Structure 1
């Protein structure tokens, strides 16, 4: 099935496919992407653009996949800065001293789900297979960031915390911050039980009726995209500055790795951003 989006820009180069946010592209300030499964060299359950070193794929294939995607978006894979994601809300300020950590150097960036920098030429990367990727750009102060927002990161409001860091550490003005909410599991497919629902009711007491949809089987569907958008708007981000994906990773198993859809037998997608 052909990949189609009404909100994101789809780029193709031979078999390789990746996505960008049009409102980020329009600024000319970043190189960025969200990857798909297409265009790599991995095989089997990792077919084909797996970017996860810890999934069991052959390391040489993963490294070749990095070379392919990074060449396409014109960043140096040797400068990529990785974090060890743990579904929390800690944010790390990346500098040029961190370049290459996790890819070609050992990394001390542990238990971190958000990366931010105001230095040009540093590609940040975070990893996904249903969780919500949040992209941030202050187009005036020139700051970029990524946040990994699974359901735990969403209820911990990592998006709002990233905006606070942008303000307090880099002097960002709310009206200048652009947000992209990337491909992830949609409310069509994110079915949860009472335990997760209770966390959302605590985190979003005023908005729960918009985010939680009961099902007849005693389970619930949760809208992670809207939860993150509401968090960001409450923090002061302009609604017009937020662009939400229309691509559910579980609905589009031909194009994305989905932890739920592939029953854990999968590769990893990635969000990458770098200041030009």
Structure 2
């Protein structure tokens, strides 16, 4: 796992860099105005941070992406598997994935340990943003998102490019037997020395992407951990619930 420090407001996934008309990024915790414990680029609306700080942080983030003229669609996430097809800006409720083919519209998810997954269908010019916690992962939300894209846009795996973003890592996501039993055994490991069991959210979601037919070369997986790189990213678990949120967003230029 890479440990490094920077002051970047966001990172652009390598897999998307060849597509100059595409806006796609994952925020860090740097470059905002929020005070501890939300320091500093807290982009989460549903936190105890001052609303004016979050508004200013979002303005800075979208400006840094040169996407301040884009619309933005997101949802109050419920750790479920429902997928919303949207053609307009707004704050929706009850969805953990959003898909669109509308140019000039960003879709995004907030995270602070769960996995953000960004999908770009190059052939049909469609995108998706997915929030996959452990419930969403075992519930197959990424597969349901791809199937929704297939139904709406004709998406196939071969034309998809995907970023599996920064989340809690496989050495620090400790789970009990009830949660561990819901994962395929390949994505759960027990450390006899520490007497703990951990689940690998990134690998579990990569497996689902591969099963849909997305080539491995078109799947970019973050090298970072919200826990091990807590100076760069917010971590709900490492900071005991009192922290900010990152945004992962994707959209096609108008």
Q: Shorter-chain-normalised TM-score: which range?
A: over 0.9
Deviations 1:25-75 (A, max 9, x none): 112231111000100000010100001122111111111101111101011
Deviations 1:77-128 (A, max 9, x none): 77221201011110000113xx1x23xxxxxx21100000000000112100
Tell me which of 5, 9, 14 is aligned to 1:22. Answer: 14
Normalization by structure 2: what TM-score? 0.94
Residues 77 and 43 of structure 1, relative CA distance in 2, 3 Å threshold: farther
1:3 corresponds to: 5
Contact residue 145 and residue 273 of structure 1 kept, 8 A:
yes
Contact residue 29 and residue 139 of structure 1 kept, 8 A:
no
2:25 corresponds to: 33
1:239 corresponds to: 216
What is the distance in 2 between the residues matched to 1:228 and 1:240? 15
Deviations 1:129-183 (A, max 9, x none): 0000010001111001000000000001111111111211101222100110000
1:135 corresponds to: 118
What aligned pairs does 1:49-60 form with structure 2 within 5 A after superposition? 49-60=41-52
Structure 2: any 5+ residue segments left out of the alignment? none
Q: Secondary structure at the match of 1:191?
A: coil
1:95 corresponds to: 87
Contact residue 70 and residue 106 of structure 2 kept, 8 A:
no
Q: Is the helix fraction higher in 1 or 2?
A: 1
What aligned pairs does 1:1-276 form with structure 2 within 5 A after superposition? 2-3=4-5, 15-76=7-68, 79-96=71-88, 99=89, 101-102=90-91, 109-200=92-183, 204=184, 208=185, 210-216=186-192, 217-276=194-253
Structure 1: any 5+ residue segments left out of the alignment? 5-14, 103-108
Please provide the CA RMSD for this pair.
1.5
What is the distance in 1 between the residues matched to 2:188 and 2:69? 40
Contact residue 16 and residue 40 of structure 1 kept, 8 A:
no
Q: Secondary structure at the match of 1:65?
A: helix
Q: Secondary structure at the match of 1:71?
A: helix
What is the distance in 2 between the residues matched to 1:16 and 1:228? 26
Contact residue 72 and residue 105 of structure 2 kept, 8 A:
yes
Query: How many pairs align?
Result: 250
Residues 83 and 77 of structure 1, relative CA distance in 2, 3 Å threshold: farther
Q: Secondary structure at the match of 2:76?
A: coil
Contact residue 115 and residue 133 of structure 2 kept, 8 A:
yes
Contact residue 194 and residue 219 of structure 1 kept, 8 A:
no
Normalization by structure 1: what TM-score? 0.87
